[in-house]
Structure 1
Amino acid sequence: MTQRSESTTAGTVPPGGASSPLVPSPPPLAEPRRHGEPRVWPRSFHDRLTSPLPGLKTLARFAREGSVRPGKEGLADIARLPYAPAPLPHADARTIAVSWAGHASWVIRIGGLTVLTDPVWSRRILGTPARITPVGIAWEALPRVDAVVVSHNHYDHLDAPTLRRLPRDTPVFVPAGLGRWFLRRRFTRVTELDWWEAAELSGVRFDFVPSHHWSKRTLTDTCHSLWGGWVLTAPDGRSVYFAGDTGYGHWFSRIGRRHPGIDLALLPIGAYDPRWWLRDVHCDPEEAVRAHLDLGARRMAPMHWGTFVLSAEPVLEPLTRVRAAWRKAGLDRDDLWDLPVGGARVLERDAVTRPVSP
């Protein structure tokens, strides 16, 4: 499938004369767009797919072979899934804190703001058994939510019952084409962005970046809205990358080039088996570590596992495999923030991290 080309800038010649090698410059970031700006989008974003959606042959194979649930042995470790709710850490404008509510739902404290990612506080989502771990953060324990970012419209990332709990004037940042879903629900501060576009809120920058995924919420809206991840950048320049839902591919290195020195990457590691069925849209743990390296991020926090049973791998396998891949890559163990559901971590301004005790 075709991709929209990414703009680049020429390298600069460093001191030392024309014989010195060119030092490439990262592509420039877009100027922030106005909040709630009316936009006109194409009816379909099929041209943004990095792999074809399943065809008849694939669906027939799935009907013959496919299982998207673990067997009895794969479910046996549900009671051992890490679950340790911690209080939300104190965070001011000089600190970055992340708390994992489960799946792709994070509470990010950055630049003095409280931002929710793909908030799903429901016990059950359409077409999926109930959560196998409770929500790690009580809704009542949340401070005022200053903003919400949404990666795409699949039910495990866009949950209407949870969003109904929010005041309708909460700023919401969403992919291109998804704004009307929120406007129909009377949200009044909805900003839609295309890939590589950005907006700002109280000095915090919200950049929408590509992912290897797709969108669909009904029988007739396949790829009618875009999908992607978010880079949140504090006024002091530190940043958190929220990948949303994605397979492995070329976008990670391009995101890292545009956003060098990402301080923390929140990357999905689950819902990957059977591989022939899910490879194009979900990273496995080893691919998540490769994505972390491609990004050039300083730290990684795994997500998208241990909350809903969406695929056939054993429920604890994503955690054991990501730890093994991290060791094999020779990375510092302290930089893998493998939090329990409900866990939290703080990145101080001097880049020293500390865990938050339950």
Structure 2
Amino acid sequence: MTQQSESTTSTPAHDTDAPPARSPLAPSTAPRPLGERRVWPRSFHDRLTAPLPDLKSMARFAREGSIRPGPEGLADIPRLPFAPGPLPRVDARTIAVSWAGHASWVVQIGGLTVLTDPVWSRRILGTPARITPVGIPWSALPRVDAVVISHNHYDHLDAPTLRRLPRDTPVFVPAGLGNWFRRRRFTGVTELDWWEAAELGGVRFDFVPAHHWSKRSLTDTCRSLWGGWVLTDSDGLRVYFAGDTGYGHWFARIGQRYPGIDLALLPIGAYDPRWWLSDVHCDPEEAVRAAQDLGARRMAPMHWATFVLSAEPVLEPLTRVRAAWQKAGLPREDLWDLPVGGSRTLG
């Protein structure tokens, strides 16, 4: 349970009881102050929805697992969708999303430009270099008004990219991750627990649960939280950014608390072998089920076509998510399967 500061009292932020019915414009919690200093528990192991791999599992993975597709699975790299274009020009009542690759989006909402899990580096620790370039040049970005981080894994929290930002950029991060940013002299750091929110420029930033975990070094397993973000503008338009997650009950809970999600940015890659990754990474069919559980009107796939993190063929996530979407009988125009560098607008 979160340890609250002395000046605040609240019910436990990770209470999982279903909330009462409410209007889409009446979120269930009041926004917390920006930049609030909090005292957090030393570990968030109690938030795991599946055990982390034990020694037996690791031995099996070392014996038979593969973290890369074979030559046939890599042969489609030149065919991966890459179509960089200019960022849309939108007003404060229009939402635009642009995919830079992996889990990095430029979300223009409520007049703000928000980056999600920004990774503009060519390679990350322990992973081969990108197989597609960044879809949006850093020089093409407008002023960044805020950054949201889902968790601290290196493919979602990239220090070289974050060093490019002014240190007064507002950043919204999971509980326990604030000191990482403060050590790098960021001054506008807001840490949130699950089901908590903050507000900036008329846009709400709600932090919501995910089926995942956190680790950045040998000694910090689950020392910070993990999750996704629901961004809501003043007109009630909502974008859900899932971060990194397996499939499970949280999607239905999120849909109950935040009805009317207009667009869900959901991961579809890094899923094979399933016995190793199913607890923490959705496969394409599960991502479509998650969109339905959320009650989302549209889905945009992510977390594929950028880094080779697992054994499935590089183009397979796209073909499988399209097939799953069609099998579910969902309108084709509501699957925003963007190329890296692509954009769509929502008014």
Q: TM-score, normalised by structure 1?
A: 0.92
Change (3 A) 1:188 1:339: same
State whether residues 264 and 300 of structure 1, in contact with CA within 8 Å, keep that contact through their aligned partners in structure 2: yes
Question: Are residues 99 and 321 of structure 1, via their aligned partners in 2, closer, same or farther at CA, if it must alter by over 3 Å?
Answer: same
Residue 82, structure 1, aligned to residue 81, structure 2: yes
CA distance in 2, matches of 1:328, 1:8: 30
Pairwise CA distance, 1:4: 4.3
Partners of 1:9 and 1:25 within 8 A in 2: no
Alignment deviations for residues 165-213 of structure 1 (CA, whole Å, 9 cap, x no partner) = 0000000000000000000000000000000000000100000000000
8 Å Cα contact 2:262/2:296 also seen in 1: yes
- The answer to which of 254-263 and 25-34 deviates more is 25-34
Larger radius of gyration: 1
SS of the aligned residue for 1:73 comes to helix
C-alpha distance in 2 between matches for 1:237 and 1:25? 10
Letter in 2 for 1:306: A
Map of 1:143 onto structure 2: 142
1:43-97 CA distances to partner (integer Å, 9 max, x unpaired)?
0000000000000110111011010100000000000000000100001101000
1:325 is paired with a residue of what secondary structure?
helix
Partner of 2:111: 112
Can you give the 5+ residue segments of structure 1 that lack an aligned partner in the other structure?
A: 12-23, 349-358
- The amino acid of 1:66's aligned partner reads G
CA distance in 2: counterparts of 1:100 and 1:29, whole angstroms: 30
- Kindly provide the CA deviation profile for residues 3-43 of structure 1, in whole angstroms up to 9, marking residues without a partner as x: 943244456xxxxxxxxxxxx98995211000111100000
2:78 partner SS: helix
Q: Which residue of 2 aligns with 1:353?
A: none
In the alignment of these two chains, the number of paired residues is: 334
Give the aligned partner of residue 310 of structure 1.
Answer: 309
Evaluate the alpha carbon distance shift between residue 89 and residue 71 of structure 1 in structure 2; reply closer, same or farther with a 3 A threshold. Answer: same
Letter in 2 for 1:204: V
TM-score normalised over the length of structure 2: 0.94
Check conservation: 1:9, 1:28, Cα contact below 8 A. no
Map of 1:206 onto structure 2: 205
Question: Deviations along 1:142-175, whole A, 9 cap, x unmatched?
Answer: 0000000000000000000000000000000000
Aligned to 2:15: 5
CA distance in structure 2 between the partners assigned to 1:48 and 1:228 by the alignment? 10
Q: 2: distance between equivalents of 1:276 and 1:9? A: 33
In the alignment, structure 1 residue 299 sits paired with structure 2 residue 309:
no
Q: Distance in 2 between matches of 1:9 and 1:51?
A: 24
- Counterpart CA distance in 2 for 1:329 and 1:103 is 25
- Does the aligned pair in 2 maintain the 1:10–1:25 contact within 8 Å? no
Segments of 5+ residues of structure 2 without an aligned counterpart are 1-12
1:41 maps to 40
Structure 1 residues 154 and 277: alpha-carbon distance in aligned structure 2, compared to 1, 3 A threshold: same
In structure 2, how many angstroms separate the alpha carbons of the residues matched to 1:260 and 1:132? Answer: 36
